[in-house]
Structure 1
């Protein structure tokens, strides 16, 4: 049996962050108006064309890394199309090692802080949304770098669908569950079985290292915020 030696997450934070509620409620109250990056805006319109031409339900695999999870999930959901997204070109370039026989997915390099906002502004609604082993940012000072502490958190919720998250740091998912509760959404946080199909390289490494793994699920169907209808969609970039 292969054994890995991935280190368990260490943090100077015990339990939920003391500023979690204030941070989440602030972001739920108002839109995130940071200007969009040109590269993600251009990619969004290419993805929009692909999604609309296909017409099947849409799945996001956010923070997909090398995209092994995207290939696995595309095979799991042949009734849908899936977009795997990551900010790292270096990770995405490794995908050919993990590619499987599935023609209903593609990978894209984007800033999710922008892509989620653009998708919401255009009225996209997901059937499923996967966030598998996002960077935990375990230092207490890193709260706003975690997705539930980020200004993009409300947009993740407004994309709707069946949300599934996994992590080897239970505090991350406990905080996310609290963020959902503040938004009026219930969730279920459970341990993952000790054996099973590994969706990502990180999941495989953590499991082989003997680390306990956790899963959070929530139904975001129909989630809206009062200011959602007023979100503007910027036009495509024009060639100079």
Structure 2
């Protein structure tokens, strides 16, 4: 049973944030130097061994929540490996109700600020990257908590692939599209057809509430930055 009365996004920000261009240019100019957490480092090296042994194309389902979308994407892409990632153990712990019998997906609790940087440093290239209903942080003061306003934004782009994002807040996607444009990437933003084939519990909830949903797509396959060749992996803490 799903609540058909979910609230629309409320924000004190009337349009694209005025600080966005300066922030994106700053982050594109050089690496993000924050130290890595050992837990995400260890998880990264475990997943790295899995994908190297398998060899199939790689898909990220970032901010996957309970992982319903990850299981659904694994079914849509049976010839690929799908990694669903979320920072919340509580949300990931609810996956059993959505699990599908498939050998091509796994869920991981990670800090994406770390995992995306590690994957980019190791030269991973995705076939697809999904960001389905991430927290939009709608307050104007929280711009840097949105993925396009965060220091990790360039690493998301370095991972490449066909990017797809979904949201019930069109301004989030409009801002993301502007951030992509500043990086030299074209994006398309438009309504998402409500056909009943929901990828996530959020999508189902918003659809049943009658909220319009929106979709952003972009091709990141050719994206590079001059300084990305200087990136390197830290050692696996499990072997130290």
The TM-score bracket by the shorter chain reads: over 0.9
Name the structure 2 match of 1:123: 123
Give the 3-state SS of the residue equivalent to 2:125 in structure 1: coil
Name the SS of the counterpart of 2:131 in structure 1. Answer: strand
Instruction: Specify the alignment match of 2:152 in structure 1.
Output: 152
Q: Is the aligned partner of 1:189 residue 2:189?
A: yes
Instruction: Tell me the SS of whatever aligns to 1:227.
Output: helix
Partner of 1:49 in structure 2? Answer: 49
Give the C-alpha shift of residue 190 in structure 1. Answer: 1.1
Root-mean-square deviation (CA), in Å? Answer: 1.2
Aligned partner of residue 184 in structure 1, secondary structure: coil
How far the C-alpha of 1:124 sits from its partner, in A, is 0.2
Looking at structure 1, the residues matched to 50 and 131 of structure 2 have their Cα atoms a distance apart, in angstroms, of 22
* 1: CA distance, partners of 2:2 / 2:107: 30
SS at 1:141 equivalent: helix
| Counterpart residue number, 1:112 | 112
Distance 2:95 2:2 in 1: 23
Following superposition, the deviation at residue 196 of structure 1 comes to 3.1
Secondary structure of 2:217 counterpart: strand
Quote the offset at 1:193 in angstroms. Answer: 1.0
Q: Which stretch shifts more, 186-195 or 151-160?
A: 186-195
Runs of 4+ off more than 4 Å: none
Is the 8 Å Cα contact of residues 2 and 205 (structure 2) preserved in structure 1? no
Give the structure 2 partner of residue 10 of structure 1.
Answer: 10
User: Secondary structure at the residue paired with 2:61?
Assistant: strand
1:204 counterpart SS class: helix
Give the structure-2-normalised TM-score.
0.98
CA displacement, residues 56-87 of structure 1 (integer Å, 9 cap, x when unaligned): 00000000000000000000001100100000
- The aligned counterpart of 1:21 is 21
Structure 1 segments unaligned to the other structure (5+ residues): none
Give the distance between the partners of 1:102 and 1:167, measured in 2 at CA: 27
